[in-house]
Amino acid sequence: MTKYYFDAYAIIEITKGNLNYEPYLDSEIIINNFTFSELCYAWFRDKNPEADNYIKRYSKHIVSVNPEWIEEAIKFRLEWKDRNVSVPDCIGYIMAKRLGIKFLTGDKEFKDLDNVEFVK
């Protein structure tokens, strides 16, 4: 089973039924607390009736972030200050790189970066 770091964009698209993400449904999912917080916010903001089920499903995939990765992610974010990327996405991207897995996203800002599996 292939392992990916799923960013919030990818998981939201999966929960919306985006068929382009279907090939990833059997993958091993890795997220962190930062991405999980973005997901919770989106589901509650949108008053998603499945929010509680999604929270139970995706909270099982949370992996701790090494403090050095956060430092690296913040430096990465500062280099990208002219782009619209969130701190959680930067942390997830660096975490994926450090874990040796692909960062799964549809966020256009990450489209041409190394170590990204881009799906719209």
pLDDT digits (tens, 9 = 90+) for 34-83: 999 999 999 999 999 999 999 999 999 999 999 999 999 999 999 988 88
Sorting pLDDT into bands at 50, 70 and 90, what band is 84?
A: confident
> Is 90 exceeded by the pLDDT of residue 22?
yes
- 118 to each of 1, 53, 65, 76, how far by Cα in Å? 19, 26, 22, 19
What is the Cα–Cα distance from 27 to 72, expressed in whole angstroms?
26
Indicate which CATH number applies to the domain containing 30. Answer: 3.40.50.1010
What is the Cα–Cα distance from 76 to 95, expressed in whole angstroms?
12
Phi, psi of 81 (to 5 degrees): -60, -20
Q: 80 versus 118: which is more confidently predicted? A: 118
What is the Cα–Cα distance from 90 to 50, expressed in whole angstroms?
27
What's the whole-number mean pLDDT along residues 108-112? 94
Sorting pLDDT into bands at 50, 70 and 90, what band is 8?
A: very high
Please say whether the beta carbons of 100 and 86 come within 8 A: no
Which range marks the domain in which residue 83 is found? 3-118
| Domain count for the chain | 1
Helices 87-99 and 67-79: crossing angle, nearest 10°? Answer: 120
